[in-house]
Amino acid sequence: MKTRPLGRSGVQVSAVGVGCNPLSGSYGSRDDDESVRMIHRALDLGVTLFDTGDVYGHGHNEKLLGRALAGRRDEALIATKFGAVLASDATESDRSGLPKRSSIDGTPAYVKAACEASLRRLGVDTIDLYQQHRVDPTTPIEDTVGALAELVAEGKIRYIGLCEAGESDLRRAVGEHPVATLQSEYSLIERGLEGGMLGVCEELGVSLVPFAPLGRGLLSGTLTADTQLEDGDIRLSGAFPRLAAESLTANARLADAVRAIAASYHATPAQIALAWLLSRREWIIPIPGMPDDPRHLEENVASDTILLDAADIASLDALGEQVTGDRYKPELATNAGASTPPRGRSDTVEAGR
């Protein structure tokens, strides 16, 4: 498949990557053996970017990815995350994302300890892309990135990424060491980055890795008001107001508009949603969650062959103004775009976007 640049690293990765979080039960139960087969199928299709995190399944996700890549390590770029520290009493549903009973730790000592733990779980000597899961509002970003830079020098990681960072922290991080990627939510129905962060990424040479590019099933049409979700599915957690009963019916209709455009391209709604993202910038690399059906994986990968015309792009652009409900409930929203104190200060800066 086509490739895209990983920041200014000189490395190219597949235009569409894979988010591995669903393989640890965030959207319902999965079979590990089948998950390994799906990862192998993704490799066969030319996918090279696989995104995981130490918090997903309390380490299960990293172990699973490491198992799947054994013998095929050189075909994949492994991206994992650190910094979200789960409480000891976290429930299974908490473990699938960034739970309410967690803390954020970006201190240098934690960064290095977390890296060692991830290396062991993945069964590798080097992590290709190591990302701070959320900015720690009590630790200067320069201290966190300084520790990451030391890990680069030691050969334990290759490239640095941030997740959900705001403009100030991203600029300060790049001042400390090159940052290859910013991972944030971006899709037809989540357009917060268009207020300025896309321009900042362009200026700084940072590739954008959008998570939830299909709106957690809304844009693909697989999530409707009638969909029966399994117990433990994070979409039942109440974390996402857009998926709550009072908003879901209205938002699910947005997939109808995408489906209408998809028909003219002989494509699926998911393919159109991904093609729209790919059309925004040539350094945007979406990571849809790994589906449980290989046909859906094949469809996602093929989205890089679809070229949308200007009229359809304009129609899709308008969907961002038709979304009902907030992105996150308030207590989770404060974890996005956090701002840290300058180096030398320890006072807490209120997070928020």
Dihedral Cα 108, 111, 115, 121, nearest 10 deg? 140
Answer yes or no: 186 catalytic: no
Q: Which of 182, 184, 191 is nearest to 316 (CA)?
A: 191
Amino acid at 132: Q
Rounded Cα gap, residues 226 and 216, in angstroms: 15
Tokens of residue 120, six digits:
């062991």
| Radius of gyration over every alpha carbon of the chain, rounded to an integer in angstroms | 19
Contact 78, 122 (CB under 8 A): yes
- Quote the tokens at residue 287: 């990571």
d(CA 71, CA 233): 32
**Residues belonging to the chain:** 353
Q: What are the angstrom distances between the C-alpha of 229 and each of 29, 56, 114, 243?
A: 10, 19, 33, 12
The SS3 call for residue 16 is coil
Q: DSSP of 211-249, one letter per residue?
A: ESTTGGGTTTT---TT--PPTT-GGGSS--GGGSHHHHH
The region that residue 71 occupies, defined by phi over 0 for left and psi between -120 and 50 for alpha, beta otherwise, is: left
Q: Which of 56, 130, 159, 328 is catalytic?
A: 56
What is the torsional sign of CA 82, 84, 87, 93? negative
Beta bridge partners, 51, equal 19, 79
Tell me which residues are annotated as active site. Answer: 56
